[in-house]
Chains A and B, each alone.
Chain A
Amino acid sequence: MTNIKPNSSSHKSDPNRRQVLAGSAAVAAIGAFGLPVGAQTTAAPAASGAFASLGVPHVRRDGAEKARGGAKFAAEYSYPGMVYGALVYSTIARGTITSLETAEAEAAPGVVLVMTHENAPRLERPEPFYSSPTGMAGSSTPVMQDAEVLWNGQPVAVVLASTQEEADHAATLINVAYEEADAVTSFDVAAESAQTSFYAGRDLLIEEGDAEAALADAEVSVDLSFNTPAHNHNQIEPHAVTVLWKDGILRMHDCSQGVDLSAITIAKVFGISSAEVHLSAEYVGGGFGGKTVWQYHILAAAASQLADRPVRMSLTREGVFRICGARAPTRQRVALGSDRKGRLTSLIHTGTTMKIENNSMTEPFFEQSEHMYRADNMHLEIRAGTMDMLANTFMRAPGAATGTFTLEVALDELAERLAIDPIELRVRNEPDVNPTTGREHSQRASVDAYREGARRFGWVPRSGQRQGYREGEWQVGTGMAAAYYPYKRFPGGAARITLDREGGALIETAAADMGMGTTTATAAVASERLGIPYDAIEVRHGDNTLPGALIAAASQQTAAIGASLTAAHEVLLAELASLVPATSPLHGLPAAELGTAEGALYSLADPHQRIPLIDLVAWSESGTVSAEGQGGPISEWTQDWSMHSTGAVFTEVRVNSVTGEIRVPHITAIYDCGKILNSKLAESQFRGGIIMALGMTLMEGASFDERNGRVMNPSFGSYYMPTHLDVPHIDVGWTDIPDPQAPTGARGIGEIGMSGPAAAISNAIYDATGKRARDLPIRLDALM
């Protein structure tokens, strides 16, 4: 069951399945969907050899640069006269600053400025997500504008000094006195007044039929509760920014997931136009939803303005825990009712999570329950309480990470009661159309993923009996769960294509590459679209002066870039058409009847009629041909289609009967995410998500002190994540069936790995021990 190559296929007879095996050079046939229709039906020149790009496991373009230390991150830029910033964090959860003693700090060696609410420039409140189409801030809490403290850890002073050490030292010399106010720092207290929440444009409430009555009447049912803790972001690169005000421009080297939106949000805070902010983030050391706009950006820029010096503000790990938010804790209830055959008659997924007053981010943990299974009656509802805490925010697979845990454990328990194999139970409830919207699936092969995963893992079907066995003092079990993540594509995508005289192309887009391989994937998509060799494509990204307002979030950026490139390519064809000389048979053909392949412009009707692109470029006035396109309206999921990625995760778990130690020696996961554009990047994204999920399952959790609202483990010393020795062999594969509605056939791969493993592990623990683990993380002593 080990060492099967990724994507070894057992579906060869499926006529719907394109034979697009990862790594095969035949992948990028120009006849793939998504290209102009004409190109699919004519004998266009085939993309092969150097032209084959999509599906080829190109290595990451930034890999060598990073390995050599050549990649420059936000905290590695410097300017003459630059000073370093340090922050002082509040030590109370709510109240008012009554005094700030800064004299000693101001007199300390190297200190250039101490900024507090008393001398900070007047600033607008930042626009948080969902408050406007461009809001990129974690919350709308004012940034050092008054004496009010709203969470334990809020910055109350900034020190600038000529070295980081001097700044850090001076920060310790500042004395802050507070008048404490009553703070809500207890989940239980906040839960009492929790309200049905509103998130991403809708109420988090779906009711179909009478789910409670159906549950009561169900022939078989389970009714379970679960707890999941708060998590913190721990990107390998702690948040940092280098700031310079010069010639009327606020220049920021940042680590943003969305440079354009960050720039707009920050510009509004300072009351300047976004053209006056130049924000770039060429390299980002991990984002996962946390590299957005937090107070440090604004404080660095404000202090830089006040001191008239360039500033580098680089958070410590503790700083990230104090001021950059992450996943909120949840308490969830999942109740399932079914008939004896396992057809769901009732699906209830409700619960409570926490947010703050100044954000509108509610962990949407019922999303998979909306889209994964059919059920006659449903009640899905999320209530959010407000606490006095750091703003919670997106963290890899918001909602689905914990929501699939609870739903998929509940299904396992139901399967056991029904004496039906867990896969079979899922298959019996596989929806023909989207269970809540009634829309048709654009592409869905969940059942294929279950079956393929079972085959590769060596799943032993069960019917109500545990299959676990003992090996000495180790109890061994297996478990499975489905994985889920929605398809998304945000507006704002744009790209510019510029052809040069040497036959190469430059692609420019404001997209972010946080290490997941955006530039690599973009070059491959562009190579296929343009018919220009992959190596002749240069990609510039991560700069708000480039086209587009993209954000690397919700696993949607690749789709957004794909749509932008398609649009830019159409404009480019028109440009090229205008350069065709009158003597050519291509002369006069409209752009819609033209294509590009193998470095040439050709006629779709007669592919043998072609002109090399370098000739067309040479004939142009400027010596380059450039075209820009916008991603266009996002019809695919807003209007007609149900677009969701699914998958199946299988794990083997060993639990020591004496110590409760939990080992996960093997994980197999098969995903149905549309087309896989680059198998190397995909494997790494899936595995990374699974490893992060392993941490969520067995060790991760912020220890929040409910007495004072302070996070007690703000360091790697006490906030545990898996080490290499904890990570097993992870076998990943995919169905690789293109989604005809997605711009490149790909639905996104960044987050789905995070969903599924927690439930699969919990289910395997049950198989091994007979004990159900419904609270995360599953600690050793929980099983004793």
Chain B
Amino acid sequence: MSYISPTKIDEALEVLSRGSGKIIAGGTDVYPSAQLGQHPDFYMDVTRIDGLKRISVSKDIVHFGSAVTWTDIINADLGSAFDALKATAREVGSVQIQNAATLAGNVCNASPAADGVPPLLALDASVELASRAQGSRLLPLAEFITGVRSTVLRRDEMVVGLQVPVPPSTMTSAFEKLGSRRYLVISICMTAVNLVLDQDNRITDARIAVGACSAVAQRLPALEASVIGQRPADVEIKPEFLAPLTPINDVRGAAAYRYDVVQEQCRRAIMQAASR
């Protein structure tokens, strides 16, 4: 087994084209899940590749390099549409985890309980992939993650960054996470909401995403549609809006409980986003 730490993206893609390696960023998912004695042929560290640690804002796109950590996000100067993502960053693991762990790693690991996915879905994020053989491609996040711990990522491919279309400057956002203790905890469920309100305090744009209540976190289109034109305080979260969710019973909570909680999280997040 070897540990390769390229500094150029081309070099990285060349390394990946050799086959059975494992990409590693912060390593906070990779190491805990590594089985003793079972190693890939090599680990390839993406955190030293030029440019990947940058968050850049152009006219249309906010771009997060794939080595951007949660701490980088907390420290970045981003608009109120990113408040939910920042709030998420502060609740991923602990400060030590946030310093090492990346947004891209969170997405690639594709855990149903990955905290980063709902706020990125609510930001309409896309995933930028690259490989030596096929160049680059851009996929909406919802298409990138296909199931529990599975993505469309090919063996020789890596995530280079995440792209978010620049949101309207009036867009606000909020994130709600529930765990069985206050800190350093795996989510029982989490909800991210991005909203735009008009002068009359009516919702004109809403994106609502829920995690840990289905194999892959998802937006709730029916709920989003229903809140348009409403004042936040009048929003009603009908059970049918949650129909796409398929929560399970597990040690962290019962399925029925998750339904109840998600309903409340949506309400809280909407109120919170609206008050910003």
B-contacting residues of A (Cβ < 8 Å)?
Answer: 168-169, 171-173, 658-661, 698-699, 703, 715, 717, 720, 722-726, 779-781, 784
Residues of B within 8 A of A779 (CB): 180, 253
Given known A-B contacts A722-B181, A725-B182, A779-B180, A717 and B261 have beta carbons under 8 A apart:
no
Contact flag A660-B36 (CB < 8 Å), given A698-B181, A723-B181, A780-B188 = no
B36 touches A169 (CB 8 A): yes
Residues of chain B touching chain A, judged by Cβ–Cβ distance below 8 Å, are 32, 36-38, 178, 180-185, 188, 251, 253-254, 256-257, 260-261, 264-265
A residues in contact with B265, CB < 8 Å: 659
Report the Cα distance A699→B36, complex, angstroms: 28
A704 to chain B, nearest CB (A): 12
**Across-interface contacts of B260 in A (CB, < 8 A):** 658-659, 784
Q: Is A699 in contact with B261, judged by CB distance below 8 angstroms?
A: no
Residues in B whose Cβ lies below 8 Å from that of A725: 181-183
Q: Is the CB of B261 within 8 A of A659?
A: yes
Check B257–A781 contact: CB distance below 8 A: yes
B242 to chain A, nearest CB (A): 15
Provide the bound-state CA to CA distance between A658 and B257, in Å.
Answer: 10
Contact present for A172 and B37 (CB under 8 Å): yes
Nearest Cβ in chain B — how far from A740, in angstroms? 44
CB of B182 within 8 A of CB of A699, answer: no
CB contacts (< 8 Å) of B264 on chain A: these are 658-659
- Give the docked Cα–Cα distance between A723 and B96 (Å): 14
B182: chain A residues within 8 A (beta carbon)? 723, 725-726
Residue numbers in B under 8 Å from A726 (CB-CB): 181-183
How many angstroms from the CA of A589 to the CA of B38 in the assembled complex?
Answer: 77
Smallest CB separation, A492 vs chain B (Å) = 41
**Closest CB in chain A relative to B44 CB, distance in Å:** 21
**Chain B residue at minimum C-beta to C-beta distance from A784:** B257
Query: Could you say which residues of chain B place their CB within 8 Å of the CB of A173?
Result: 37
Q: Are B183 and A723 in contact, CB atoms less than 8 angstroms apart?
A: yes
B21 to A: closest C-beta gap in Å: 19
User: Cβ of A703: which chain B residues have Cβ within 8 Å of it?
Assistant: 251
Closest chain B residue to A703, Cβ basis: B251
- Which B residue's beta carbon lies closest to that of A721? B181
- Between A and B, 26 residue pairs with Cβ closer than 8 Å are A169-B36, A169-B37, A171-B36, A171-B37, A172-B36, A172-B38, A658-B261, A659-B260, A659-B265, A660-B257, A698-B180, A699-B180, A703-B251, A715-B32, A717-B32, A720-B180, A720-B181, A722-B181, A723-B181, A723-B185, A724-B183, A725-B182, A725-B183, A779-B180, A780-B253, A781-B257
Find the A residue at minimum CB distance from B249.
Answer: A781
Chain A residues lying within 8 Å of B32, measured Cβ to Cβ, are 715, 717
Give Cα A173 to B37, complex, Å: 7
* A172, A724, A780 — most chain B CB neighbours (10 Å): A780
- Of the candidates A168, A717, A780, the one whose C-beta lies within 8 Å of that of B180 is A780
Interface centre among A172, A717, A722, A781, by most B CB within 10 Å? A781
Q: From B33, which residue of chain A is reached at the shortest CB distance? A: A717
Smallest distance from the beta carbon of A664 to chain B beta carbons, Å?
11
- Determine how close the nearest CB of chain A comes to the CB of B258; give it in whole angstroms: 8
B251 touching A781, Cβ below 8 Å: no
B185 touches which of A658, A720, A724, A784 (Cβ 8 Å)? A720
Taking A658-B264, A780-B188 as contacts, is the C-beta distance between A699 and B257 under 8 angstroms? no
Q: How far is the CB of B149 from chain A (nearest CB, A)?
A: 16
* A661 and B183 contact, CB distance less than 8 A: no
- Among residues of B, the one whose C-beta sits closest to the C-beta of A716 is B184
Q: How far is the CB of B199 from chain A (nearest CB, A)?
A: 28
- How far is B256's CA from A658's CA once the two chains are assembled, in angstroms? 12
> Within 8 Å CB of B37, what residues of A?
169, 171-173
Closest-CB distance, A163 to chain B (whole angstroms): 15
> For the complex, what is the distance from the CA of A659 to the CA of B188, rounded to whole Å?
11
B188, closest chain A residue (CB): A780
Complex Cα–Cα for A715 and B32 (A): 10
Beta-carbon nearest neighbor of B251 in chain A: A703
* Chain B residue contacts of A784, Cβ below 8 A: 256-257, 260
| Contact across chains for A659 and B183 when beta carbons are under 8 A apart | no
Q: Give Cα distance in the complex from A660 to B37, angstroms.
A: 42
- Would you give the shortest CB distance from B16 to chain A, in whole angstroms? 26
Min C-beta distance of A232 to chain B, whole Å: 15
Tell me if B181 and A168 are in contact (CB < 8 A).
Answer: no
Q: How near does chain A come to B260, taking the closest CB pair, in angstroms? A: 6
In the bound complex, how far is the Cα of B269 from the Cα of A659, in angstroms? 14
A85–chain B nearest beta-carbon distance, Å = 15
Closest to B184 in A: A723
Interface contacts beyond A724-B183, A726-B183: sample of 6 additional A-B pairs, CB < 8 Å, sorted by A: A172-B36, A715-B32, A720-B181, A720-B185, A722-B181, A726-B182
Residue of A nearest to B178 (CB): A659
Q: Distance in Å from the Cβ of B131 to the closest Cβ of chain A?
A: 32
Tell me the smallest distance from the CB of B95 to a CB of chain A, in Å. Answer: 12
- Residues in B whose Cβ lies below 8 Å from that of A723: 181-185
A168 to B36, CA, bound (A): 8
A649 to B189, CA, bound (A): 33
Q: A720-B180, A723-B181, A723-B183 are in contact. Are A780 and B36 (CB under 8 A)?
A: no
Q: Chain B residues near A715: list those with CB within 8 A.
A: 32
In the complex, what's the smallest C-beta–C-beta distance from B120 to chain A, in angstroms? 24
Residues in A with CB closer than 8 Å to B251 are 703
**Chain B residue with Cβ nearest A174:** B37
Assembly CA distance A504 to B272 (angstroms): 65
Query: Is A780 in contact with B183, judged by CB distance below 8 angstroms?
Result: no
* A670 smallest CB distance to B (angstroms): 27
5 closest Cβ pairs, A-B complex:
A172-B37, A725-B182, A781-B257, A658-B264, A723-B183
Chain A: CB-nearest residue to B93: A717
Least distance between B31 CB and chain A CB atoms (Å) = 11
A724 to B185 alpha-carbon distance, docked (Å): 13
Complex contacts, A720 vs chain B, CB 8 Å: 180-181, 185
Task: Give the chain B neighbours of A699 by CB distance below 8 A.
Answer: 180-181
CA distance A696 to B261 in the complex (A): 24
Note all chain A residues with C-beta closer than 8 A to B261.
658-660
By beta carbon, the residue of chain A nearest B268 is: A658
Contact partners of B188 in chain A: CB under 8 A: 780
Give every chain A residue within 8 A of B38 (Cβ-Cβ). Answer: 172
Q: Which residue of chain A has the shortest Cβ distance to B265 in the bound complex? A: A659
Q: How far is the CB of B222 from chain A (nearest CB, A)?
A: 21
Separation of A658 and B237 alpha carbons in the complex (Å): 14
Write out the residue numbers on chain B whose beta carbons fall within 8 Å of the beta carbon of A698.
180-181
Closest to A695 in B: B181
Query: How many whole Å from B92's CB to the nearest CB in chain A?
Result: 14
In the complex, how many angstroms separate the beta carbon of B101 from the nearest chain A beta carbon?
14
CB closest chain-B residue, reference A660 = B257
Complex alpha-carbon distance, A725 and B91, angstroms? 12
Residues in B neighbouring A171, C-beta threshold 8 A: 36-37
With a cutoff of 8 Å between Cβ atoms, the chain B residues found around residue A658 in the complex are 260-261, 264
- Give bound CA distance, A723 to B182, whole Å: 7
Residues of A within 8 A of B183 (CB): 723-726
- A783 to chain B: closest residue by CB: B257
Nearest A residue (CB) for B253: A781
Closest to A779 in B: B180
Bound-state CA distance A172–B37 (Å) is 5
Distance (whole angstroms) from the CB of A258 to the closest CB of chain B:
33
A230 to chain B, nearest CB (A): 14
Given contacts A171-B36, A172-B36, A659-B264, contact A780 B257 (CB under 8 A): yes
Q: Nearest residue in A to B94 (C-beta to C-beta)?
A: A723
Find the B residue at minimum CB distance from A173. Answer: B37
Shortest distance from the beta carbon of A497 to any chain B beta carbon, whole Å: 47
Q: A120 to chain B: closest CB distance in Å?
A: 23
The CA-CA distance from A599 to B180 in the complex, in Å, is 57
Q: Are B36 and A781 closer than 8 Å at their CB atoms?
A: no
Inter-chain contacts of A168 with B (CB < 8 A): 36
Q: How distant is the Cα of A169 from the Cα of B180 in the complex, in angstroms?
A: 35
CB closest residue in chain A, given B35: A172
Residues from chain B with Cβ under 8 Å of A722 in the complex: 181
Q: Which residues of A are found within 8 Å of B256, using beta-carbon distances?
A: 784
Least CB distance, A715 to chain B, in whole angstroms: 8
A279 to B178, CA, bound (A): 47
> How many Å lie between the Cα of A169 and that of B257 in the bound state?
43
